[in-house]
Structure 1
Amino acid sequence: MQIHETADTFDLPDKRVWVVGDLHGNAGWIQTLLPAMRRHAPSLRTILQLGDYGFDHGHLGTHPVDYWSKRAGIERVLVTLGNHEEWDHITAAQENAPGMAIRVSEVVWLLSRPFRFKIAGREVLSLGGASSVDKAFRTAGKDWFEEELITERMEAAAITGGPADLMLTHESPTAAVPEVQRLLMNNPHEFPPEALAISAAQRERVQRVADAALPHLHMHGHMHVFGDLERDDGRSVVSLDRDTFAGNAGVLDMATLSFEILPLADIRGWR
């Protein structure tokens, strides 16, 4: 993985940005989603991606994310890393630029854990990572990596940074949207208890950071469901769904921190 550029923060002027959930390296979905973004909001220039990005940046040639981003007018894709990532390459690249965002293609930046930046004057806190609850069905060091986890050090660093207006994570907080709560209660994929316990500990880390940073809006992926929750204290949580499903992408207004989903019918060109 080549590092083209590094940054210790960003100060973006964008009044509205795209936010996208899990992509899982799905080039076909990128080919469908980004043209739909162009049709819906051609002036937008930034995508905030919430992990399980999943694309390989170790190969030569034009990358599908670069290609379709250029055609859609997207200038930057800022990735809050998930668990299903190429950690065998990402870890070494991040160790060469600790605390920095690293640009790994023409438009794609992988954010450190944690990473803080500004959009339209709003303080944004990104804290990537999560546990692979399906690791029992995967191979360690090939399909899942210990580096995927949010560590105590990452949690402490995120808290030390102070308040944030917007928090971006891959993992859900424990104060989850109702759709995530139902998913966790039912465990439809029958993930083993030990994997669920590690995942629960990761959610607790995320919640402790959220309770310290007090973001007005907390957005995450990972759970493969769309849902939103407005808490009694006025803070909101939004969970985005995965690639190919409704609720995978939408527009975030940075002035109001209101989020509008891009309907699946519009993405697929059904209307």
Structure 2
Amino acid sequence: MAIAGDWESKAASVAAVLALIVRTAPEVRTILHLGDLRYEAPKIVDGKMRSSSFLGDLDALLDEHGIDRLLLTPGNHDWWEQLHAEFLRHPGRPYRIATRIWALPRGFRFRIGSTEFMSFGGAASLDKGPGRSGWSEHEVPTDSEVIEAVKRGTVDVLLTHETPDASTPAVDAITRRSKSWPPDRLAASAASRRLITDLITGVQARLTFHGHMHVSGEAQGPSQRSIYSLNVAGAPGNVGLLDVGDQGFSWLPHTAHQLSEQGRTAEQNLTKQTDTNGAPAAPTRADRSDGRRDELTDDDSGRWLVQTVGSSYEVDLDRRTIRRIPIDTAASSTDGVVRPLAIVRSCVVGSQGRFGARLNEETSECSWQISGVIRAIERLS
């Protein structure tokens, strides 16, 4: 399985991370996420209540890449008011925030293979405190929660958002920057880190993984206990692979180059070439001599092969159908299935495709099919 650090709603970088995971380890079906996914409360924009599209787009991408589930150990920048209320209503039960995404309560234990895991989310924010927008009193773990978690015995792997006092050099460099943070936030961070340090000792975790500080690193605790700090999306050290058989962990190879390259391609597409007046230059919709083009719209006709990093799509605009064709062993619930095509919302070389498709002819319900970054659009005979 994969373990990932903070994603912070960085859509392009996250798309690159997922593509890298399935290309490197196509057998991965579970992602353990260490918090700050940026599951956020809706906001009022122009007088209307609006929710971020990131969670829905991520859910579609997980399906696209054959990832069955993402288990979230909530971070301090996730929606703790909602999470706290839900965990109170249903103690000890994961909270489903999207079709394939579950938020785990503090102290939640689960087993995969022979490995026993515990999720213990939350952390003290260094950048904001009481009275600031988005801050929640529930973001920081409590002494009683640590005591209850320890009572239930040992675990093999501990998943936290908060960092422990582990002498990881990159983490220490941040917490020691006393002039960068308000004194009250430094004190809150230190107290929160002590709780996680006590938790590691209490449950005798062989491996501990955390995010929060946006740096990568490793440290050795007592009795050969390993502690890993995972970086933020778009930076090297954001994701690694855990073998639940021997509990071996390895950083995903070539992370720095591939994330920067793919993330930059996708993000640059949002502000793609401009003309001398600063207006976006339109992609080429006309067929070239090789039968390819840069953009496909819902108004076009014909059969097309849309090629992405991890798969291809057969899009028939005459029959209004779409079919995903994987190029690796990753499996999605829609692989090989011809689905009724409702709309081509976006299909441009250099960015992710977005197609509205129904499960079958009998239903009017439409779901989004989000592709990886598109490499080519080719006309089929």
1:267 offset after TM fit, Å? 3.3
Distance change in 2, residues 1:203/1:60 (3 Å): closer
Secondary structure, aligned partner of 1:147 = coil
1:94 offset after TM fit, Å? 2.1
Match of 1:228 among 215, 218, 224: 218
Provide the rounded CA distance (Å) in 1 between the counterparts of 2:63 and 2:148. Answer: 34
Q: Which residue of 2 aligns with 1:103?
A: 96
CA displacement 1:138-193 (0-9 Å, x = unmatched): 853x3211110101221111111110100010011112422212222234x71011
Gaps of 5+ in 1: 1-16
CA displacement 1:240-259 (0-9 Å, x = unmatched): 01121111111111223222
Provide the rounded CA distance (Å) in 2 between the counterparts of 1:237 and 1:68. Answer: 29
Judging by fraction of residues, say which structure has more helix: 1
Match of 1:114 among 102, 107, 117: 107
Q: Which residue of 2 aligns with 1:48?
A: 32
1:90 offset after TM fit, Å? 2.1
1:268 offset after TM fit, Å? 4.3
Secondary structure, aligned partner of 2:223 = coil
Q: Which residue of 2 aligns with 1:177?
A: 168
Whether the 8 Å CA contact 1:176–1:237 is kept in 2: the answer is: no
1:236 offset after TM fit, Å? 0.4
Q: Which residue of 1 aligns with 2:259?
A: 267
Larger Rg: 2
Provide the rounded CA distance (Å) in 2 between the counterparts of 1:30 and 1:56. Answer: 17
Gaps of 5+ in 2: 43-50, 263-381
Provide the rounded CA distance (Å) in 1 between the counterparts of 2:131 and 2:167. Answer: 29
* RMSD over aligned Cα atoms: 2.0
Match of 1:36 among 20, 31, 36: 20
Distance change in 2, residues 1:75/1:18 (3 Å): same
Secondary structure, aligned partner of 1:207 = helix
Q: 2:234 aligned with 1:244, yes or no?
A: yes
Judging by fraction of residues, say which structure has more strand: 2
Provide the rounded CA distance (Å) in 1 between the counterparts of 2:260 and 2:23. Answer: 12
Provide TM-score, normalisation by structure 1.
0.86
**Matching residue's letter, 1:88:** E
Whether the 8 Å CA contact 1:37–1:72 is kept in 2: the answer is: no
